[in-house]
């Protein structure tokens, strides 16, 4: 009997399975040895105490895969309170005592740093205890968030992963000039809903995706989390290989999906006539054209996060703000996703444009997105952001968050109200 075709993601898992497998089918539960295991420096010292107790009971003193383990200080860094500072201190001591590499508090967000530094490449497997891990599927990797499993990885260098069903999202057409990849992501989120790909993987394809830059491919794959997907994926092509070529030092393998692979679902979108999109409070799938919410006053505009904290995002905001000022009643906060992005934006003059416009530019990191510091909202305040989510209380109790593209965020910062970027571009 002929074996069913396999998706590239299943081939990647097959390559990393222990013991070795000859095939992998959706629904299988596999023991996997990831290429990279990334963890966040914790905000709670009690969690570390429990981990140390568990390791001691198991007699685990050394971590065999420590050259594969990377710790990231991206949430709440620099520490906004004495409590978080104390937690950071304890976790940093734990990692450093065991020879685990820890990024500094200004390096940026794990999802951006790992690909930038060439640690994530096509065909690799990444295990990271963060919901937006699928962002890294933009390079053709299997990047899935792990809930639990931390102890087994520390002790063994392995974890258990499900081989997911795969949905195909085909995006065709060319965007109008005031519409961007984040608008496309919001539109898809609104159409499919927060559970549109629950526990499945999502592959993005089509003529629009083939023409996308790497910056915007990361933005698209980031959105997979907001439709419930376990992993996002874009098939590597010349754009991917050009981007990773100067970064990845180890050999890697590109896997292809078999022509007879059967996708669980296929969704098709033509974005040729798409207008700027906004997700209104309090759900990332409560999406509507900007015209339906235009004019709503804003107290804060925020550009950043693993969804939209890349160089292209800063560039479009600077283009809108050049020669203009942020509205006097608005805080416009710009938090680059990584130090690489911040350095490039500084070198190219975009950060100076933002300063001249009275924007507030911070160090790289997650910033206000998880609601820890760097732009927390007061009760009753309204923000327009290009962060990942707009759940109630996400950036401050009793506040409202509207999600939009960096262009719409920048235009709104100028006007002091939600505004279309059309007249600025």
Would you state the pLDDT for residue 1? Answer: 45
Structure tokens at 375: 């732009």
DSSP label of 197: T
CA atoms within 13 A on the CB side of 351: 17
Whole-number Å distance between alpha carbons of 366 and 135: 14
Residue 217 and residue 193 share a domain: yes
Contact 328, 360 (CB under 8 A): no
Residue 150 and residue 93 share a domain: yes
Residue 336 and residue 244 share a domain: no
CA 260 → CA 2, 79, 407, distances in Å?
A: 11, 51, 40
Contact 119, 70 (CB under 8 A): yes
Give alpha helix (H) positions in 117-213: 150-156, 181-192, 207-210
Residue 195 and residue 131 share a domain: no
Residue 233 and residue 101 share a domain: no
Comparing CA positions, the residue from 48, 49, 4 lying closest to residue 24 is 4
Would you state the pLDDT for residue 425? Answer: 85
Structure tokens at 53: 């107790």
Contact 109, 366 (CB under 8 A): yes
Residue 110 and residue 47 share a domain: yes
Whole-number Å distance between alpha carbons of 302 and 139: 27
Residue 176 and residue 46 share a domain: no
Residue 293 and residue 249 share a domain: no
Last residue of a domain, one of 254, 270, 286: 270
The helix-helix angle for 311-321 and 406-415 (nearest 10°) equals 30
Is 106 within a domain?
Answer: yes
Is 100 within a domain?
Answer: yes
Strands 29-32 and 159-162 turn out to be antiparallel
Assess whether the previous peptide bond of 78 is cis (omega < 30° from 0). Answer: yes
Residue 154 and residue 42 share a domain: yes
Whole-number Å distance between alpha carbons of 287 and 264: 25
Last residue of a domain, one of 236, 270, 304: 270
Would you state the pLDDT for residue 166? Answer: 98
Would you state the pLDDT for residue 406? Answer: 98
Domain that holds residue 345: 278-424
Residue 212 and residue 150 share a domain: no
Structure tokens at 234: 């874009």
Is 3 within a domain?
Answer: no
Identify the segments of the chain with pLDDT beneath 70: 1-3, 147-154
Domain count, the chain: 3
Contact 209, 234 (CB under 8 A): yes
Residue 208 and residue 80 share a domain: no
Strands 277-279 and 287-289 turn out to be antiparallel
Last residue of a domain, one of 210, 239, 270: 270
In CATH, what number is assigned to the domain containing residue 342? Answer: 3.30.499.10
Is 18 within a domain?
Answer: yes
Would you state the pLDDT for residue 244? Answer: 97
């Amino acid at each position: 009997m002929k074996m069913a075709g396999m998706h590239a993601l299943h081939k990647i898992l097959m390559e990393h399975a222990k013991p070795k497998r000859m095939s992998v089918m959706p629904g299988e539960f596999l023991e996997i040895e990831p290429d990279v295991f990334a963890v966040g420096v914790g905000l709670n010292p009690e969690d570390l105490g429990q981990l140390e107790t568990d390791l001691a009971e198991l007699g685990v003193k050394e971590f065999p895969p420590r050259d594969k383990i990377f710790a990231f200080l991206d949430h709440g860094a620099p520490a906004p309170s004495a409590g978080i500072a104390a937690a950071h201190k304890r976790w940093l001591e734990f990692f450093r005592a065991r020879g685990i590499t820890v990024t500094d508090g200004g390096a940026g967000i794990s999802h951006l740093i790992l690909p930038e530094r060439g640690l994530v490449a096509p065909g690799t497997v990444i295990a990271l205890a963060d919901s937006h891990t699928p962002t890294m599927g933009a390079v053709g990797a299997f990047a899935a968030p792990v809930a639990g499993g931390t102890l087994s990885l520390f002790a063994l260098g392995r974890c258990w992963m499900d081989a997911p069903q795969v949905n195909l999202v085909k995006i065709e057409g060319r965007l109008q000039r005031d519409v961007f990849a984040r608008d496309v992501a919001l539109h898809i989120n609104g159409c499919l809903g927060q559970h549109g790909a629950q526990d499945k993987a999502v592959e993005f394809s089509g003529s629009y995706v083939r023409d996308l830059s790497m910056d915007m491919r990361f933005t698209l794959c980031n959105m997979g989390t907001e439709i419930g997907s376990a992993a996002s994926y874009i098939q590597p092509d010349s754009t991917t290989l050009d981007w990773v070529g100067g970064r990845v030092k180890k050999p890697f393998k590109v896997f292809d999906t078999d022509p007879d692979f059967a996708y669980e679902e296929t969704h098709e979108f033509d974005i040729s006539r798409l207008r700027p999109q906004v997700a209104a409070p309090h759900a990332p799938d409560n999406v509507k054209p900007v015209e339906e919410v235009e004019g709503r006053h804003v107290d804060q505009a925020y550009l950043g996060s693993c969804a939209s904290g890349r160089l292209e995002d800063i560039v479009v905001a600077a283009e809108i703000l050049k020669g203009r000022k942020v509205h006097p009643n608005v805080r416009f906060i710009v938090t680059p996703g990584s130090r690489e992005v911040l350095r490039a934006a500084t070198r190219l003059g975009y950060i100076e444009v933002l300063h001249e416009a009275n924007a507030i530019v911070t160090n790289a990191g997650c910033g206000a997105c998880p609601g820890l510091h760097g732009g927390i909202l007061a009760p009753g305040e309204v923000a327009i952001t290009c962060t990942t989510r707009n759940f109630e209380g996400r950036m401050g109790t009793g506040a409202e968050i509207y999600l939009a593209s960096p262009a719409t965020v920048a235009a709104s910062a100028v006007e002091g109200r939600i505004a279309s970027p059309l007249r600025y571009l």
